[in-house]
Amino acid sequence: MKLSADERPAEAGEDLEAAYREILARSPKVFASPEMLAQAANPMEAWFYGHHGRRTGKWAHYLEVYDHYLSRFRDRPVRLLEIGVSHGGSLQVWKRYLGPQAQVHGLDINPQVAAIDDEDLKVHIGDQSDPGVLDRILAETGGFEVVIDDGGHVGADQIASFEHLFPRLADGGVYICEDLHAAYWRFHGGGLGRSGTFIEYIKGLLDALHSRYFEAGEGREVAPWLRHVHAVSVYDSIAVIEKRTPRDPFRFIVGRQKLIAPSTPVTKPVRPV
């Protein structure tokens, strides 16, 4: 989604948009061919390269990621929400990949996508950062096992959607955020190390994942719902956050033969910071 003039960062101008277009031009579009379909390495690639319905586009290396995390939901009841509908092709791909029991929903701010009237898809119109819109969809669907954010690629919107939807995601579900390279582009309100991007937000999720190990006196509280973050996996431009009911970790000790006496120091002393 292109930012409106009011939504762009203050320093944005024609030179910034020109730089953004130049970046995109260096990433050529490739249309799927029969040869690509024949060489598909997994079912996700096969369904995507063989798609002939509504138009869609994904970075090729995303498909392996999607197959890895979504394969367990195939041919079973599953509810999926994709933020960012565009022409609607990806909704069709998700439906065919996941199978007839899947309920596939899309959310887009552009009212034109309401024209998508496929009987096995449901499109909602609204802003991904609007809690009222998200609550309406949740009430209608009962929630989701899979959420894919391919919406505006603006950090504030991505964070707002995640913080509202992840706590309500089904246990065992996955939350996927695409196109994180936009977090480095000023045209999308980003920049290297810039606060408020989803890339920087993910770094905080790593702390939340390890919050049980915080030492006393750290003075950092973690929201209870963040304790359900089971894993954070980051690939080139795409992140996957898995949700599970938290459980205290424990350590198994196996084997009987010992080599080091209990009193022998095995680590170097560390000077307190």
Contact 148, 179 (CB under 8 A): no
Chain centroid to CA 235: 10
Contact 97, 121 (CB under 8 A): no
Contact 99, 76 (CB under 8 A): yes
Around Cβ 82, how many Cβ atoms within 10 Å? Answer: 27
Contact 209, 232 (CB under 8 A): yes
Q: Which long-range contacts (CB under 8 A, 24 or more apart) does 49-52 make?
A: 51/89, 51/92, 51/93, 51/96
153 assigned to active site: yes
H helical segments located in 154-266: 155-165, 198-209
Of 153, 188, 210, 228, which is the active-site residue? 153
Burial of residue 50 (CB within 10 Å: 0-12, 13-18, 19+) is middle
Give the residue numbers annotated as catalytic, written as ranges. Answer: 153
